Amino acid sequence: MSEPIELAPSSTPITEEIGSVGWWVNKEALPLLRALRESVNGLILEPFVLRETGGPTDLTLGAIADGEVLKRVGTEVVGVPGVSTDGSVFSMTGPTGAADPVVVYDFTNFYDQAATDAVNVTAANRSGNSDFNLSIIGTPTTRFLSRTGAVGQMPFGFQPMSMGSAGGALFSAGVANYLETTIAAPALQFLGAMTMEWFGYVSVAPSAGTGDIQFVNMEGPASLETEAENVLYLLQWRDTDNNLLYFHENAGGLNSEAVFFTTPETIFTPTLALPIHLCVTRASSGSVTLYANGRRTREPVTPGPNAALPTGGTSAKLRISQVINTGAVLATLGVRLFASDLTAAQALESHRRTVYGQA
């Protein structure tokens, strides 16, 4: 066995050639170590040190939190928040600290102008669970994201960070035109804590006195006053009293609602050019909270006058974007449902990731 040689601390040529390898090196190993150094070209000289090829300059690694991307600052590489749609309306990953959603419907990132509406609607279900697939009721369509969806029109002026470049959306207008889950999926029939998010444009302003806008509705298809047909959760704009509200039923069709705010129909006028993110959370106690574009609109409200939570709804199917109002058109980009209630911070994060790509 070859005798090792001891390297003194002043052996600069050796340490420059092979980096910090310790005080004892076998003489026969030196050529191999030099060759190894050449092969990796100095990418990793020592623990937590990188060598970039431009200078070259040795860079040390600083603090990098989970989920961050890397940024060079002088001779250090540190972690910074990256642009990510994780936790946004279009992601099957929940906001920080939240459980993942049960289902996501994405009508923009997976829009294919060459595909049929049926294909696009099926592709919008990002959960991987076919129980949540949607059927087309009437004539809602997937089209280019313009004022009315027509080809060749100017698209909306503001595109959120999380949207794709294809420029599609689900357009619906008229009481008979909406999407509905093909089956009554028990996993979507929430009776306790839950969250529903709707994201899109009200592309034509609603008209007063001409009906409601139902963004997300979980209701029996026959709409009978029976417990099996009960509405389990509904977010709607009701034009008769200009209320944006939450609604559900218990027992044999007993109504309970929580009004978030009363406003003229012009509340939606700015969204003709800008998208709106509506997030409604329902706690296990039944109290509901509305977050509009990440901001809470008022203190939590307990639905009344009957039960604070719904019952029944075993026949209920999920409906998306039913426009009973004859003067309005919805351009829906995405819908997301949780079997838990998001916190205020999580609702804000969802909005920021959806619109800006950052929390």
DSSP states of 62-101: ----TT-EEEEETTEEEEEPPP--TTSTT-SSPSTTSPPP
Together in a domain, 51 and 112:
no
Q: What is the CATH number of the domain that holds 233?
A: 2.60.120.200
- Note whether residue 90 is domain-resident: no
Together in a domain, 44 and 168:
no
| Torsion 230-236-239-242 (CA) sign | positive
Computed over every residue of the chain, the mean pLDDT equals 83
Together in a domain, 52 and 133:
no
- Nearest CA to 290 out of 257, 249, 323, 259 is that of 259
Q: How confident is the model at residue 18, as a pLDDT?
A: 45
DSSP state of 108: S
Together in a domain, 61 and 128:
no
Q: Is the previous residue joined to 13 through a cis bond, with omega within 30 degrees of 0? A: no
Long-range contacts of 112-119 (CB under 8 A, 24+ apart): 112/166, 112/168, 113/144, 113/166, 113/168, 117/141, 117/142
Does the pLDDT of residue 8 top 60, yes or no? no
- Note whether residue 10 is domain-resident: yes
Together in a domain, 202 and 70:
no
Does the pLDDT of residue 265 top 90, yes or no? no
Q: Indicate the pTM of the whole model.
A: 0.78
Task: Please write the tens of the pLDDT for every residue from 206-248.
Answer: 766 677 889 999 999 887 789 999 999 999 988 888 888 999 9
Together in a domain, 173 and 300:
yes
- Note whether residue 216 is domain-resident: yes
- Note whether residue 186 is domain-resident: yes
- Note whether residue 96 is domain-resident: no
Q: How confident is the model at residue 22, as a pLDDT?
A: 45
Does the pLDDT of residue 204 top 90, yes or no? no
Token pair in block for residue 247? 């609604």
- Note whether residue 97 is domain-resident: no
> What is the count of structural domains for the chain?
2
- Note whether residue 46 is domain-resident: yes
Together in a domain, 45 and 140:
no
- Note whether residue 161 is domain-resident: yes
> Which amino acid makes up residue 48?
F
Long-range contacts of 3-9 (CB under 8 A, 24+ apart): 3/27
Together in a domain, 171 and 233:
yes
Give the residue numbers spanning the domain of 45.
5-80
Together in a domain, 62 and 202:
no
